[in-house]
Amino acid sequence: DSGVTQTPKHLITATGQRVTLRCSPRSGDLSVYWYQQSLDQGLQFLIQYYNGEERAKGNILERFSAQQFPDLHSELNLSSLELGDSALYFCASSVAERNTQYFGPGTRLTVL
Amino acid sequence: EDQVTQSPEALRLQEGESSSLNCSYTVSGLRGLFWYRQDPGKGPEFLFTLYSAGEEKEKERLKATLTKKESFLHITAPKPEDSATYLCAVQDPGYSTLTFGKGTMLLVSP
């Protein structure tokens, strides 16, 4: 158990809908990262927050957004969902930037 | 753009049969190279971080090494519970984010 928690574990929804994924980092970690993992693309970095501020963006679609709250938990919002958004979404956290990242158990999103 | 290539894509071993997984990378400057283990449907589990060429780290049956262009994960006398996908990732000095390879799926048969 890495200490990073993610909810929900599974999410099944329809195309065009909007969902919110939640992540609680390890105690004391200030940096949160979101990744998407699909069979063909592997693990792809989406976005990073550090102590409430956005720090880096990867290949994140405009339909996706995220934020980190004062208590350091983070939410990833996915809207206008498409079939191709079906994937595992992982959150990772680290004590500070550039430290080892510890991953949560993931949320499996299925878009029908 | 950072690139990470892992080989082989899949590897099947008999219990006790040692082997190595390869991770080759191209980065503008390497801050760290990370190895993770991932079981099906689970999150990646951190194994090692290597920072400079010549560095080696060990954990049980696993040993990671680093050169200027690649890293190896050596598995000595593997057991069935070592079966997993092993992921390699690089971190360059300018960013804290990781660029991952596609992984090597290892299956160890009893």
* Mutation target vs A (from B85, B96, B100; most A CBs, 10 A cutoff): B96
Q: What percent of chain A is modeled with pLDDT above 90? A: 90
Give A-chain residues touching B95 at CB under 8 angstroms: 56
- Token pair listed for A54: 């956005």
Q: What is the mean pLDDT of residues A72-89?
A: 97
pLDDT at A10: 97
Q: Is the pLDDT of residue B40 over 90?
A: yes
Nearest to B97 among A33, A42, A99 (CB): A33
Q: Which of residues 14-53 of A touch B (CB under 8 A)?
A: 31, 33, 42-45, 48
Minimal CA–CA distance to B84: which of B17, B1, B33, B21?
B21
Write down the pLDDT at residue A75.
Answer: 98
The pLDDT tens digits of the residues spanning A17-39 come to 999 999 999 999 999 999 999 98
Distance, in angstroms, between B56 CA and closest chain A CA? 17
What pLDDT is attached to residue A39?
81
To test the contact with chain B by mutation, choose from A6, A34, A43, A55 the residue with the greatest count of B C-beta atoms within 10 A, namely A43
